[in-house]
Amino acid sequence: MIYLDNAATTHYKPQCVVDATVKAITEAYNPNRSGHRKALELQQQILSTRSKISALFNNDSEMHTAFSLNCTSALNLAIMGNVRKKGHIISSVTEHNSVLRPLMQLQRLKLAEVTLIQPDSHGEITQDALYRALRPDTYMAVFSHVSNVTGKAQDLKKLGEVLQNKEIVFVADCAQSAGYILTDMTKQGINAAAFPAHKGLHGIQGLGVLVFDKTAIPRPLILGGTGTDSHLLTQPETLPESLEAGTLPCPAIMALQAAIDWWVSERKQTREKMGELNRIMTDGLNAIANVEVYSDYNESGIACFNIKGQDSTVVGDALAEKFDIVTRSGLHCAPLMHKWLNTYDTGAVRASIACDTTSEQVYRFLNCVQYLAKTL
């Protein structure tokens, strides 16, 4: 099998990640629930993971990191946890449903008015467009760092410059950038960033993280046991425990700690390799007659395309069934982005590489797309 669905989840897990996961499963303890030595040691390891995350995103405190089920739940925590009774929120049509659906729910409940910015012809959310969308009651702006459909990266620093000194919470969806493009919350003016463990960082599924600063501390969305202040019948206010009711996904957290260490040591060479392969893939797709390409070169390894006149699911199924090449087809949980691309009716095929992808696999994929472009 040639696996080109890494934007959904990376197939390759470094051995150190596997080892950390197995150890956490076979030596299972529950932090904050017990005072014995092993539980306390695990608490320290979890704190160490928070420190690594804080350093990776350059926020203001390791205590401003909250573990959650996945990136979607982390985004919900950022958005719903900072919602006000009335006001205005800005986002864009390029967003994933993890952002769009919470925002539309707030609008349906008349808890917020939402403006969705259109990108320019290059897929970029410009400073001018953001300036025009601002209102006196704007209190939040939510943008994806990288489109999960095309791989287009937004310049978060430029967007942050528009929002600075305005008491607007700037939330970044880093689902497709974490592990590929650095996010510096302090330099980019970001107040909250959500990311998953299982994509570009090569951790395992079952963990998302919200990193925030002191201006974007969310209210808890899930209430329950934290292992702290157990005498209280109300949710404790101590961070980050107040945001993490219930038992933490310790195997996934330990896997993420190992994944970050691995990523730091391997980042330069994996970035160079992925850059070379992504250029081969995007240039190769552009050279195939009857293929429409929606992605430019990008650091997240995404190449989105269609064979003209064909539904994306037909192409995706053919790649899988005839050639054992795994991609993703359809609307990719980003319907407004597909409307902007004029692919709402057909969807699009997304091929996404990772550090373990080989040039032979990319060339094989291109040859198969060329064959289908001629024969379908």
Domains of the chain: 2-9+267-366 (3.90.1150.10), 15-262 (3.40.640.10)
User: What pLDDT is recorded for position 239?
Assistant: 95
pLDDT confidence of 194, banded at 50, 70, 90?
very high
Query: What distance in Å separates the CA atoms of residue 192 and residue 218, rounded to the nearest whole number?
Result: 9
Q: What is the SS3 assignment for 256?
A: helix
Q: What is the SS3 assignment for 372?
A: helix
User: What pLDDT is recorded for position 345?
Assistant: 97
**DSSP bridge pairs for 302:** 352
pLDDT confidence of 327, banded at 50, 70, 90?
very high
Query: How many CB atoms are closer than 10 A to CB 104?
Result: 14
Query: What distance in Å separates the CA atoms of residue 339 and residue 270, rounded to the nearest whole number?
Result: 33
Least confident of 83-87, 217-221, 290-294, 305-309: 83-87
**Strand 208-212 to 65-68 pairing:** antiparallel
270 half-sphere exposure, CB direction, 13 A CA radius: 21
Assess whether pLDDT exceeds 90 at residue 33: no
User: What pLDDT is recorded for position 341?
Assistant: 98
pTM of the model: 0.96
Query: What distance in Å separates the CA atoms of residue 253 and residue 295, rounded to the nearest whole number?
Result: 33
- The pair of three-digit structure tokens given for residue 171, joined into one six-digit string: 């939330």
User: What pLDDT is recorded for position 226?
Assistant: 87
Assess whether pLDDT exceeds 80 at residue 237: yes
User: What pLDDT is recorded for position 36?
Assistant: 85
pLDDT in tens, 352-371: 999 999 999 999 999 999 99
Query: What distance in Å separates the CA atoms of residue 95 and residue 143, rounded to the nearest whole number?
Result: 7
**Residue 164: φ, ψ to 5°:** -65, 150
pLDDT in tens, 56-90: 999 999 999 999 999 999 999 999 999 998 999 99
